[in-house]
Chains A and B, each alone.
Chain A
């Protein structure tokens, strides 16, 4: 009993410390940024401690509180502390703290620091509440709050039209997915009548046994629509690259490591349901594999370092969903966690370059001597190696799990796709690395085509300690997290796939091949610094323009919606407005005419009154006379 009470208070402390920090900062400390920073950092530190303590105590029985009951339906709030949520919770809090510490340096020149840190606290609260949620509706509420905080943080520099537009786009596109998710949740309510996640997953009495297979497929596909929106999978992926308009630490936290991972996490939560339905599984793996390849090709050609990382996030999220759909909860969660560390690291490194060199352009970073920023460059190389999957860095182990699962279950086509995506990942990652560390020497001719920085350029110390410390920490995490695979598997109650050196060889070969091609294209001293894809101009154009998906949306969806809005506006302005205007004007006109009776001539009024009363009296008299007669 005592143990469970203690667990509960730790959970409350972990979840509500960031919320309390957010409330204090936003309500009272808008004018004292130093205090706001301190409060939010303290909240985040408390949450890290709490989540680690929870992880060390291990999984416990779900804790539930009745929110309200209506008829047979009971809505509960509570905490589901199993291996998945405990481990991901630690990843979330640790990366949040790293990003906050990093932001001390990165945002030191920003006048709205209080708001920034308060919003980070708000995000940490919603993300943690989502991760620990026991009830699907509760999870959905915090899922939406995650979207909201993402909106606030992408649009943090709301004076910039591009940032405001990106925030709107991200919010609206994830909302499309959320509509699907919400319909799915309502279908669960209709056919199952309960949102309790352990109850839904129960093998004997859960959703699988309670509803018809077709209904199950519909529910899962609708939930997957939500996952597609949140985790930026095709066809709703176009919001994520635009979301890079936010501050770089925000990109590191939300748009690579945690918020977009919420979709994958939801899929991991409902993994047994997806396993029970072959159709949903196939759809997920097809979409995920396609997205992984699509985004990787876009990353091959983009010159903006943050955009490259954004496409890479989309691609890696595709990897995780493939792993989950192929049947391995462990591979998906493992890659989720390692990716969170190395992608946060890569974003923080890119932030250091942007902060100091005031450019987002890869070639420009190289040209301005980015490689001389030692900690950053080491972080970039280690993070890049982990992302590419070079042994023995963390990404190698988690990707290895994914390949093993795909090969194991005989998804031949998808194994091929995964290998292709891994090759592309290694290629674009090391294209990025080589462009930064081996710039074309002495070539400073074409500064004009460099892309302008989205933020940064404050000068000052190249690598302030507040920014270097998280980078160094995450460098170690990205390098060594892979060795904890067996622990993570044990936490999930699973055993990792058995590896031999031989089974890992093809993957390593593919990755090294990708690195080698990148070296030939960008690394060696007389490299042409053009991707091999430039040999096929049509493909180059296609990739540079992101497969024209965004352009297509703009041309079809945005324009048709705009046309509809114009029509509505026209109807409103011309038909409704002017109709009522005319009606009102007519009444006004008649009123003006009627006022002419009011001559202001007292004797005319008197005469009228006499006439009126005279007539009245006459009528009464005659009436009485007739009646009396």
Chain B
């Protein structure tokens, strides 16, 4: 197992997440894609921490912050989605286009 293997896994994970964000019509699908991308970033941090930094704590701190951030983000994202659904009866991004120029 080399650094490249981990980075490749991170890349695949990130690309899947990005594809999910850009292609899903359902906002909850988009949220899942965002979570995937964050996890890819966490994986990269841990990989770099394992192979190129002496102090093992550095990467772990960043990853813990990312996990906390993701939790907060999910809470906000879900409440926005819930309110959108209440007001518009829709969570399809294709239908939520009121800011069109």
Contacts and interface: CB of A to CB of B under 8 A. Distances in A.
11 contacts: A595-B101, A596-B101, A599-B97, A600-B96, A600-B98, A600-B101, A603-B21, A603-B22, A603-B30, A606-B21, A606-B22
Interface in A594-622: 594-603, 606-607, 610
Nearest to A595: B101
A601 B100 CA distance: 8
Nearest to A601: B97
A598 B99 CA distance: 8
Interface in B57-101: 93-94, 96-101
Contact of B99 (A600, A606, A607): A600
Given A598-B101, A601-B100, A606-B21, 12 more contacts: A595-B101, A597-B101, A598-B99, A598-B100, A600-B97, A600-B99, A601-B94, A601-B97, A602-B96, A603-B21, A603-B23, A607-B22
Contacts of B18: 610
Contacts, number: 32
Interface of A: 594-603, 606-607, 610
Interface of B: 18, 21-23, 30, 93-94, 96-101
Nearest to B23: A603
B52 to A, nearest CB: 18
Contacts of A603: 21-23, 30, 93
Contacts of B21: 603, 606
Most A CB atoms within 10 A — which of B22, B23, B93, B101?
B101
A601 B94 CA distance: 7
Contact of A600 (B22, B23, B30, B100): B100
Contacts of B22: 603, 606-607, 610
Please name the 10 residue pairs, one residue from A and one from B, whose CB atoms are nearest each other, closest first.
Answer: A595-B101, A598-B101, A600-B100, A600-B97, A600-B99, A603-B22, A607-B22, A602-B93, A606-B22, A601-B97
Contacts of B100: 598-601
A591 to B, nearest CB: 9
A428 B35 CA distance: 109
A184 B9 CA distance: 96
A456 B21 CA distance: 89
Main secondary structure, interface of B, reads loop
Contact of B93 (A594, A595, A601, A607): A601
Contacts of B99: 598, 600
A596 B101 CA distance: 6
A269 B23 CA distance: 97
Contacts of A599: 97, 100-101
Contacts of A602: 93, 96
Nearest to B21: A606
A157 B84 CA distance: 67
A582 to B, nearest CB: 23
Contacts of A606: 21-22
A247 B67 CA distance: 92
A599 B100 CA distance: 5
Nearest to A594: B101
Contacts of B23: 603
Nearest to A607: B22
A602 B100 CA distance: 10
Contacts of B98: 600
B3 to A, nearest CB: 18
Nearest to B18: A610
A595 B93 CA distance: 19
A602 B92 CA distance: 11
A195 to B, nearest CB: 68
Contacts of B30: 603
A579 to B, nearest CB: 28
Contacts of A601: 93-94, 97, 100
Nearest to B99: A600
B46 to A, nearest CB: 22
A325 to B, nearest CB: 80
Contacts of A600: 96-101
A419 to B, nearest CB: 89
Contacts of B97: 599-601
A596 B21 CA distance: 23
A35 B70 CA distance: 82
A106 B26 CA distance: 89
A597 B98 CA distance: 14
Contacts of A596: 101
Contacts of B94: 601
A598 B100 CA distance: 5
A465 to B, nearest CB: 81
A603 B34 CA distance: 13
Nearest to B97: A600
A116 to B, nearest CB: 62
Contacts of B101: 594-600
Nearest to A592: B101
A404 B21 CA distance: 113
A619 B15 CA distance: 20
Contacts of A607: 22
A595 B22 CA distance: 22
Contacts of B96: 600, 602
Nearest to B93: A602
B13 to A, nearest CB: 16
A178 B5 CA distance: 97
A263 B93 CA distance: 85
A599 B101 CA distance: 6
A475 to B, nearest CB: 86
A602 to B, nearest CB: 5
A473 to B, nearest CB: 83
A423 to B, nearest CB: 88
A449 B93 CA distance: 86
Contacts of B93: 601-603
Most B CB atoms within 10 A — which of A597, A598, A599, A602?
A602
B94 to A, nearest CB: 7
A234 B22 CA distance: 89
A602 B29 CA distance: 14
B54 to A, nearest CB: 25
B34 to A, nearest CB: 10
